[in-house]
Amino acid sequence: MPFTGGRRGGIVPGVRIGLFGINYGSCADPVTAVRVARHAEAAGFESVWTGEHLVLPDPAPPGFSMPPTLPLLDTIVALTLVAAHTTVIKVASGIIELPLRNPVVLAKELASVDVVSNGRLIAGVAAGYVPAEFTAVGVPLAERGARMDEFIGALRALWSMDSPQYHGEFVSFTGIDTHPRPRQRPSPPIVIGGEAPAALRRAVLMAEGWYGFYLNLEETRELTAALRALAGEHERPDELGRLEITVTPAGPVDKASSERYAELGVDRLVLLPRPDAGPRERHVPVPVDDILRIIDNAAVQLIG
């Protein structure tokens, strides 16, 4: 089956627990990031996730929740940092704005993170949406979908082919090789972020997983239903296996609500460091002791 319900087993059926924001806000401080990642690992969290914006618009446009002064460590640097100071917790990009990256360079960086982490990388990518970022990097916003499709193909070629080659409009290479390859074979799992129809379709056809951010139960129900419908309309490549569903929930989560997410097919809940905050407040740096307390509470309620 290309798409099934949540996994069963564990204290909360089907749900693994991750933590979002290991590279921004308070965790943009490397000492704090390491402390939080180690605490999450000791508490039984499955993964820690970065966020990404290369630049932020200044002034912030109406409705945009991130202040231009919000500190964000580069995703690759942050993942390498926490990987070097942990042993079992997965390190995940949530997400990398793939159209803004050079895929050949990114393939090398992510393969290196997978090697340094001994195969703990989850490669989350998405199309991006902030016009100011695309302008600053010099990439037309209108090309983001086409670049996503090509760049995913290029990453997989560089990670898995004996003689890597890819030929597209935006990236093309042959007669090259690159080592070391990722520790995970044939590649680290790719997770597609975003709720737009194109993102959902891309997840079904091109990725091991899908990531929905700041979703309540009703929104999750609608989007998992849309994913199931797409899985019925399109032939998912067998080598991708079952589509894994990751959600950052909107608001606090307890055991009962986590079980409801699992019933909708969610495999992983990636918690915010301030789960009760609104869209703007969730980007205000959270004192490290408060983050550690959130981790401890989740460990008791959701992991056991």
Tokens 């194109």: give the residue: 198
**CA proximity to 232, closest of 207, 263, 262, 201:** 201
Tokens 């079952």: give the residue: 242
pLDDT digits (tens, 9 = 90+) for 166-177: 999 999 999 999
pLDDT digits (tens, 9 = 90+) for 246-301: 999 999 999 999 999 999 999 999 999 988 777 667 777 889 999 999 999 999 99
Domain for residue 8, yes or no?
no
Q: Are 191 and 209 in contact (CB under 8 A)?
A: yes
**Residues whose CB falls within 8 Å of the CB of residue 178, separated by 6 or more in sequence, listed in order:** 107, 108, 111, 158, 164
Domain for residue 10, yes or no?
no
Beta bridge partner(s), residue 246: 211, 268
Give the span between the Cα atoms of 253 and 269, in whole angstroms.
9
**Model confidence at 9: pLDDT above 60:** no
Give the span between the Cα atoms of 191 and 197, in whole angstroms.
15
pLDDT digits (tens, 9 = 90+) for 201-253: 999 999 999 999 999 999 999 999 999 999 999 999 999 999 999 999 999 99
Q: Within 10 A of 239 (CB to CB), how many other CB atoms are there?
A: 9
Domain for residue 272, yes or no?
yes
Domain for residue 7, yes or no?
no
- Report the domain count for the chain: 1
Domain for residue 5, yes or no?
no
Domain for residue 232, yes or no?
yes
Report the CATH number at residue 62: 3.20.20.30
Provide the percentage of residues in the chain whose pLDDT is more than 90: 90
Domain for residue 115, yes or no?
yes
Arithmetic mean of pLDDT over the chain: 94
Q: Are 150 and 98 in contact (CB under 8 A)?
A: no
96-123: average pLDDT: 98
Q: Are 76 and 113 in contact (CB under 8 A)?
A: yes
Exposure string for 182-194, b = 16+ CB within 10 A, e = fewer? bbbeebbbbbbbb
pTM, two decimal places: 0.95
Domain extent for 195:
16-303
Domain for residue 1, yes or no?
no
Q: Are 283 and 65 in contact (CB under 8 A)?
A: yes
Flag the least confident range among 6-15, 107-116, 170-179, 292-301.
6-15
Give the span between the Cα atoms of 75 and 65, in whole angstroms.
20
**Residues whose CB falls within 8 Å of the CB of residue 83, separated by 6 or more in sequence, listed in order:** 91, 113, 116, 117, 120, 121
The pLDDT score that the predictor gives to residue 92 is 99
